[in-house]
């Protein structure tokens, strides 16, 4: 990944860290809900993400919130959010920061 894509990916990650799961007081990035961020040569971004559960109350609104936030990140051209439940999200995906916030460390 070239330097510009690394910078853009870092910006996107910072934006994702401002979006919180409504049921768990931790941002979606530290929760491990974001599986992958792919940036092509045109700065089109594909975010592969999941939810804590398929029947999550924000199943419709959270991906839209992520799309809007990433879309407004400086340098991003187009954004596509792809939801997946494979592999299913588990607490194992929590970052150490998230575990600390939740009192699990």
User: Which residues does 7 contact at the CB level (< 8 Å), separation at least 6?
Assistant: 75
Q: Sort 94 into a burial class: Cβ within 10 Å, 0-12 / 13-18 / 19+.
A: buried
pLDDT at 54 (0 to 100)? 82
pLDDT at 1 (0 to 100)? 61
What is 3-93's CATH topology?
A: GMP Synthetase; Chain A, domain 3 (3.30.300)
List per-residue pLDDT tens for the chain, 105 residues long: 666 999 999 999 999 999 998 888 899 999 999 999 999 999 999 999 999 888 877 888 999 999 999 999 999 999 999 999 999 999 999 999 999 989 998
């Amino acid at each position: 990944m070239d330097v510009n894509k690394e910078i853009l990916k870092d910006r996107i990650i910072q934006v994702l860290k401002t979006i919180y799961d409504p049921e768990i007081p931790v941002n979606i990035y530290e929760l491990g809900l974001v599986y992958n961020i792919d940036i092509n040569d045109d700065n089109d971004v594909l975010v592969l993400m999941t939810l804590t559960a398929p029947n999550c109350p924000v199943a419709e609104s959270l991906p839209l919130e992520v799309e809007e936030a990433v879309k407004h990140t400086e340098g991003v051209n187009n954004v596509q959010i792809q939801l997946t439940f494979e592999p299913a999200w588990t607490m194992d995906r929590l970052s150490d920061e998230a575990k600390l916030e939740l009192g699990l460390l």
